[in-house]
């Protein structure tokens, strides 16, 4: 029982894990950029006056939101063999979270007072100016905490990239375990690193939430 947990092995595992952690962070950051932009595009096009845009976008949105991310990842991985797994991973995670984000944006946009829409019409602003100068600045403010919460939850779902052989932290931990015939240190440490990184962030977001509430 004494060699169950070896500090030696634990220290060996740390650099390997941190290397994987960089990929985890990279995937989260870029994935979130994709999600934030695409989510907004989805939310706006679901308010389009043309049914031919609204309907397919809405249906695709629901379909992607309700099906497992892992399956989508593997699907894209086999479908686009010429693209690197990491790029596929970031794109698929980004698209998956864009469908969550679109709901958040939608709530934010619905929260803008109807008088604001009427005012832009009264001032005969075009659609671009209406969105850019009036609606979005008000809508996005209230979506910031949700954006943060989804960033944290995306961070915790990047290990799913394991499925498409991207060596992020958990894959690195698993490989390390397999090489040394001992999983306990690497996997435990990977979990702890997740906890250490995500808990303060979610505290920060909770603070932001109370700060922005008005």
Partner 1 sequence: MNNVDAFIAALPGIGRGILVTLELTLGGAVFAFLIALALGLATRSRLLLVRGATRIVIEFFRGTSLLVQLFWLFYVLPLLGIRLDSLFCGILALALNYGAYGAEVVRGGISAVSIGQFEASRALNFTSWQRMRRVIFPQAWAQMVPPFTNLLIQLLKGTALATFILLHDLNFFINELRRSTGDTLFAYGIGLVIYFVIAYLLTLGMNAVEVRAKNRIAAGPTLREVMGLKPPKARSQIDQTPRSRMTGVIS
| Six-digit token string for 68 | 């497992």
Of the candidates 212, 207, 175, which has an alpha carbon nearest to the alpha carbon of residue 190? Answer: 175
The only residue of 29, 37, 71, 204 in contact with partner 1, by rule CB under 8 A: 71
Three-class SS state of 89: helix
- Contacting range for partner 1; rule: CB under 8 A; set: 48-56, 111-119, 142-150, 176-184: 176-184
Shortest CB 117 distance to partner 1, Å: 28
Residues ≥6 apart with Cβ < 8 Å to 55: none
- 75: tokens are 């699907």
Instruction: Report the SS3 class of residue 67.
Output: coil
Select the residue interacting with partner 1 from 160, 164, 176, 205 (CB under 8 A).
160
SS3 label, residue 61: helix
Considering the rule CB under 8 A, would residue 130 count as an interface residue with partner 1? no
Tell whether residue 194 is a contact of partner 1 (CB under 8 A). Answer: yes
159 binds partner 1 (CB under 8 A): yes
Q: Could you tell me which of 160, 212, 170, 156 has the C-alpha nearest to residue 17? A: 170
CB closer to partner 1 out of 45 and 72? 72
Q: How far is 137 from 40, CA to CA, in rounded Å?
A: 12
Q: Of 91, 157, 166, 172, which one interacts with partner 1 (CB under 8 A)?
A: 157
Instruction: Report in angstroms how near the CB of residue 55 gets to partner 1 at its nearest.
Output: 17
- Interacting residue with partner 1 among 11, 37, 60, 68 (CB under 8 A): 68
Q: How far is the CB of 73 from partner 1 (least distance, A)?
A: 10
Is 6 a binding residue for partner 1 by CB under 8 A? The answer is no
Is 34 an interacting residue with respect to partner 1 (CB under 8 A)?
no
Does residue 124 sit in helix, strand or coil? coil
Identify which of residues 47 and 156 has a Cβ nearer to partner 1 in the complex. Answer: 156
């Amino acid at each position: 029982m004494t060699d169950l947990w070896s500090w030696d092995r634990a220290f060996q595992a740390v650099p390997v894990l941190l290397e994987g952690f960089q990929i985890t962070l990279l995937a989260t950051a870029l994935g979130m950029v994709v999600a934030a932009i695409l989510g907004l595009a989805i939310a706006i096009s679901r308010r389009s006056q043309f049914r031919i845009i609204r309907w397919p976008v809405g249906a695709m949105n629901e379909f992607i939101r309700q099906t497992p991310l892992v399956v989508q990842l593997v699907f894209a991985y086999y479908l686009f063999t010429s693209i690197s797994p990491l790029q596929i991973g970031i794109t698929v995670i980004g698209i998956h979270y864009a469908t969550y984000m679109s709901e958040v944006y939608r709530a934010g946009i619905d929260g803008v007072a109807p008088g604001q829409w009427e005012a832009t019409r009264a001032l005969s602003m075009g659609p671009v100016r209406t969105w850019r100068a009036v609606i979005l600045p008000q809508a996005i403010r209230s979506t910031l905490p949700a954006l943060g919460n989804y960033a944290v939850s995306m961070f915790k779902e990047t290990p799913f990239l394991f499925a498409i052989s991207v060596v992020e932290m958990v894959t690195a931990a698993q490989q390390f375990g397999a090489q040394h015939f001992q999983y306990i240190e690497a996997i435990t440490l990977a979990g702890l690193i997740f906890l250490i990184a995500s808990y303060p962030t979610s505290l920060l977001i909770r603070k932001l939430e109370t700060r922005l509430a008005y």
